Amino acid sequence: MKLAVVGATGLVGQEVLKILAERNFELDQLIPVASAKSKGQVVSFNGKEYEVVTMEEAIDLKPDIAIFSAGGSVSLEFAPQFEEVGCIVIDNSSAWRMSPGHKLVVPEVNGHVLRIDDRIIANPNCSTIQMVLALAPLHVEYKLERVVVSTYQSVTGSGKKAVDQLMGERNQEQVEAVYPHPIDLNVLPHIDKFEENGYTKEEMKMINETRKILGISDLKITSTCVRVPAVGGHSESVNVTFKNDFDLARVRELLAETPGVIVQDDPASNSYPMPINAHGKDEVFVGRLRRDESLPNTLNMWIVADNLRKGAATNAVQIAEFMVQHNLAY
């Protein structure tokens, strides 16, 4: 097993390396990959140091699996070249997510759609992953009718420079601005570019990707995505209307039984999901479960996850594990 990590020097790439080690992913050769300007840099993995190689060098090594975390334009250019040498590409960017010919996968939800001829597999948007993991078991039981989601997303979703901007502002230092406005002591209802319909790309990602992953092309869903000055993970307020009525105790039971989900829902003891507690963890935390008293068959829920882990790196590694465990990787 030769495994390449493309974008190995970035925030998500570093998290991928950490998670591969934590989960004891069996590999014979690690190939850390980055842009030409990073060639020769050293990354650490399992107590050893590895030199970063270029894309072209990595392709020549013919890896079995490549986990890409290097942006959409890089994925569009190089993923097909890795595919040509027999490599499975698991891509963290938005490049392939809505392509009809490529699978968009959260293993616990729709891993069953993967086949041996899937060579480029898309990893969903971070906010989408945590939401669909909680929605999927409820859809099976009660059938989704409509979803309204508002997100509270960590600056880590914008990369290291965004974290630097937040911390620089907090320390009253001059730093390069990633956002069009200050982020410390502020919230920005603006993630990614604005589209002609007034939604941002991030909001449309959540809408379109949720429909694709759950296989509900006509799902009524709307989204507002907001950047907040937090670093531990993304939070979401989700209002869900079902076609069938639900029992709140059964909802808690279904979520608690879902692999990768932890129910944290005891308001009496101030127990509910928060990004500060989700940081560094792979699970999706769900709480503030309550009936929406203004509409029939409608549930309010609060969903939190570490966006660099389950929202990106962990999910990508889990896809690689799924391909290996189901003999789809060779």
- Work out whether strand 120-122 and strand 144-153 pair parallel, antiparallel, or are unpaired: unpaired
Task: Please name which of 225, 149, 230, 237 lies closest in space to residue 194, comparing C-alpha atoms.
Answer: 225
Amino acid at 48: K
C-alpha–C-alpha distance, residues 254 and 248, integer Å: 10
pLDDT value of position 122: 98
Task: Please name which of 307, 305, 283, 263 lies closest in space to residue 108, comparing C-alpha atoms.
Answer: 283
**Domain annotation for the chain: domains and CATH numbers:** 2-124+312-325 (3.40.50.720), 127-307 (3.30.360.10)
**H-only helix segments in the chain:** 11-22, 55-60, 72-84, 107-110, 126-142, 160-170, 201-214, 248-256, 275-278, 314-325
As given in the structure block, the two tokens for residue 220 are 């009524």
Cβ contact 200:237 at 8 Å:
no
The 8-class DSSP code of residue 327 comes to T
Tell me the per-residue pLDDT of 36-54, one tens digit each, with 9 for 90 and over: 888 989 999 999 999 999 9
Q: Calculate mean pLDDT across residues 205-212.
A: 98
CA distances for 53 relative to 83, 110, 137, 143, 305, angstroms: 18, 33, 42, 48, 32
pLDDT value of position 11: 87
pLDDT value of position 329: 83
Q: pLDDT-derived band of residue 94, with 50, 70 and 90 as boundaries?
A: very high
CA distances for 1 relative to 226, 321, 322, angstroms: 40, 12, 14
Cβ contact 25:46 at 8 Å:
no
Q: Calculate mean pLDDT across residues 51-75.
A: 96
Residue 330, pLDDT > 80, answer: no
54, burial (CB in 10 Å: exposed 0-12, middle 13-18, buried 19+): middle
Q: pLDDT-derived band of residue 150, with 50, 70 and 90 as boundaries?
A: very high
Q: pLDDT-derived band of residue 262, with 50, 70 and 90 as boundaries?
A: very high
Tell me the per-residue pLDDT of 105-148, one tens digit each, with 9 for 90 and over: 999 999 999 999 999 999 999 999 999 999 999 999 999 999 99
- Which range has the worst mean pLDDT, 68-72, 165-169, 185-189, 294-298? 68-72
β-bridge partners, 194 = 200
Amino acid at 106: V
- Work out whether strand 88-91 and strand 120-122 pair parallel, antiparallel, or are unpaired: parallel
C-alpha–C-alpha distance, residues 185 and 169, integer Å: 9
Sequence-separated (6 or more) residues with CB below 8 Å from residue 276: 230, 232
pLDDT more than 70, % of the chain:
100
Tell me the per-residue pLDDT of 278-321, one tens digit each, with 9 for 90 and over: 999 999 999 999 999 999 999 999 999 999 999 999 999 999 99
pLDDT value of position 40: 87
pLDDT value of position 36: 86
Q: Calculate mean pLDDT across residues 102-107.
A: 98
Question: Across the chain, what does the average pLDDT equal?
Answer: 96
pLDDT value of position 56: 96
- Work out whether strand 48-51 and strand 42-45 pair parallel, antiparallel, or are unpaired: antiparallel
Catalytic residues: 126, 234
